[in-house]
Amino acid sequence: MPALHTGLIFAAVAAVASAAPTTDNTSAASSNILAKRAVCSYTGTINPTTVASDAPGCSSITFNGITVPKGQSLDLSKLTKGTTVTFQGHNTWLAQVGFDDSLLKIGGTDIIVTGAAGARLDGQGAQYWDGLGSNGPTPKPKFLAAHNLLGTSAINNLYLLDTPVQAVSINGCNGLKVNKMTIDNKSGNSLPANKMPHNTDGFDIGASSNIVIDGAIVDNQDDCVAINSGTGITFQNGQCNGGHGLSVGSVGHGSSTASNTVSNVQFLNNKISNSSNGIRVKSFVDGKGSIDKVTYKGITLSGITKYGILIEQNYNGGDLPKNVAPGTGVPITGLTIDNIIGGNGVVASGTNVAIECGNCSGWTWTSTVNVTGGKKFSCVGTPSAVPAGTCA
């Protein structure tokens, strides 16, 4: 038998002669071959080109303690419908400074990806971190591109360790569920400024619908989750530590109004601690698009250093720029802020609630919102639903 990292273990002896995936799905013979797709296992140093070629012919794929060579992606973006992928052991992507593709790509219909107990996916982030993230002159790879995952696809129990920059990009997906994912960049918190991680967003979501992220634990240095476009998105039962909190936007950056639409989003029962922001909704001052029916409910805030709740329509690359009036091209409508548990959740130098609106309406702001500990802000264009005394 060939070495596990280069060979295919077949589900039935009769299928051995038909190991290569077929491109003709119309005949009875090809249907029989697909029914007997291979069980594929890899360990040790892999050849990503071989894996990408083999993967469409596999019904299940197991990676156990693999090493991905420098400057290469593990490309599983063309999986056959119903494929299962399992990661076991400690899996490492060797670092190559200047590499700017995603380290891991996954796509397909009804795909199930699982991290076994104790498994780690190690992006070797410390080899890239320079305090600049994606803002510096040297490109850095994002970790997981979960693109075009459709149907009943799910990602369960993955543990991403030390991501170079952004951890998870969800784009072009419909129906994806992400359960109990851990994103762990806390090793970078004690490093000197020129060695710290930056732009290490947990989940960035765009052009996707009917997405549920449940029970995530994110230790990072940027947005825990940022929803840039899409509909029917839920982030619930999560723990976000050290980053920029739960964000919608920035919305409105780009020429297509459709790509700048966020609707029917829920953030439910999440804990945000030791972060610069708790809740943040932001649109570009000159942008076009819409933000509609976004709900924040059951959010617990502690150790927030800048803004407990920040809603701004004058974002221009920085929060609340001076002497920049809020725009009107991205209306924020149907926003619900409910049961926010943040008594003394903001540090004394921070701001409890900041709102700068040019086109905001139809909000619900319940009496169970309690964000204190910091300063009050002179809000602009605040909808009538926001209680008197919330702002200065």
- Residues known to be catalytic: 244
The residues facing 203 across adjacent strands are 168, 225
Q: What angle do CA 338, 335, 385 make, to 5 degrees?
A: 70
| Rounded distance between C-alpha atoms, residue 97 and residue 337, angstroms | 42
Q: Are strands 58-68 and 90-93 parallel, antiparallel or unpaired?
A: parallel
Provide the edge-to-edge strand list for the sheet that holds 144-150: 74-76, 104-109, 144-150, 168-171, 203-206, 225-227, 246-251, 277-284, 307-315, 351-356
The residues facing 179 across adjacent strands are 156, 214
CB within 8 Å of 359: residues ≥ 6 apart? 313, 326, 327, 328, 329, 330, 331, 332, 381
Handedness of CA 100, 106, 108, 109 (dihedral sign): negative
- Encode burial over 252-279: b for 16+ CB neighbours within 10 A, e otherwise: bbeeeeebbbbbbbbbbebbbbebbbbb
| Rounded distance between C-alpha atoms, residue 111 and residue 88, angstroms | 17
Q: Which two tokens stand for residue 333?
A: 């409508």
| Rounded distance between C-alpha atoms, residue 221 and residue 275, angstroms | 8
The residues facing 91 across adjacent strands are 121
Q: Which two tokens stand for residue 381?
A: 């264009």
